[in-house]
């Protein structure tokens, strides 16, 4: 059984710490800052950092890799098509790796960046900045069609999959989701819950694929209510779900 802990970093990042109690080995996902990881290791000297998983090249996801690599014997995994510091194992779509005794499938999810990957183990998804709780990442390098396709792949995972993204954006994303679908009771209920959580300083992650499919407008582009809102925004007929996605993403960029 993998235990998972969130290590807060910067203003709204989470570095995910994966622990195997039977071996006292641990792994981290997207350590943009080495300090939170090193602080945890200092407090738990019986644990050894064995693996570092990277989803994409942005500094707030890789900034701590070199320091952690120098201080440990950890193996660094990352996307083959991006420049990842100290990368030992370059990964591409459909690769499989073993971390802490568990197999993880690699899923290519271009959109936020062109080489972005996600890591999936039954029940667990580490998706970086592709799928957020109630949202998705900005299109810094990819196209709307690429991101739509990537999100569709993640939405096809089992509904009980826990979604571990890397930013605490849930409240602002739900405010947007409520603007897209004001009549969606699941979104309104989640917005109220998350508002209370954030007021109390409580983390809103992980989510689940099932919850995202009910409340995340970027996974709901085939819904009539979402399509109608996109058509209203543009004054045109957006015939395909990826066209609806493009309208939503452009709207969210300025929301």
Q: Which residues are catalytic?
A: 56, 58, 60-61, 112, 129, 167
Please state, in angstroms and rounded to a whole number, the distance separating the CA atoms of residues 177 and 249.
11
Query: What is the number of residues in the chain?
Result: 255
* Sign, CA torsion 253/146/133/118: negative
């Amino acid at each position: 059984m993998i235990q998972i802990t969130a290590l807060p970093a910067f203003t709204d990042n989470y570095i995910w710490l994966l622990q195997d109690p039977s071996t006292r080995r641990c792994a981290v996902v997207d350590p943009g800052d080495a300090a939170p990881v090193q602080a945890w290791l200092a407090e738990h000297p019986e644990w050894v950092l064995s693996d570092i998983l990277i989803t994409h090249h942005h500094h707030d996801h890789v900034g701590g890799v070199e320091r952690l690599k120098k201080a440990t014997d950890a193996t660094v995994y990352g996307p083959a098509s991006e420049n990842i510091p100290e990368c030992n194992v370059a990964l591409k779509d459909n690769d499989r790796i073993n971390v802490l005794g568990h197999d993880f499938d690699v899923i290519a999810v271009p959109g936020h960046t062109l080489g972005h990957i996600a890591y999936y183990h039954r029940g667990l998804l580490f998706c970086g900045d592709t799928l957020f709780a109630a949202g998705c990442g900005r299109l810094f390098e990819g196209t709307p069609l690429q991101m739509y396709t990537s999100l569709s792949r993640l939405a096809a995972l089992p509904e009980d999959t826990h979604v571990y993204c890397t930013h605490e954006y849930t409240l602002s994303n739900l405010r947007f989701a409520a603007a897209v679908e004001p009549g969606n009771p699941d979104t309104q209920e989640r917005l109220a819950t998350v508002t209370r959580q954030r007021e109390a300083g409580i983390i809103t992650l992980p989510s689940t694929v099932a919850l995202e499919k009910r409340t995340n407008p970027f996974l709901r582009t085939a819904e009539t209510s979402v399509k109608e809102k996109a058509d209203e925004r543009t004054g045109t007929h957006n015939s395909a779900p990826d066209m609806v996605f493009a309208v939503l993403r452009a709207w969210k960029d300025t929301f």
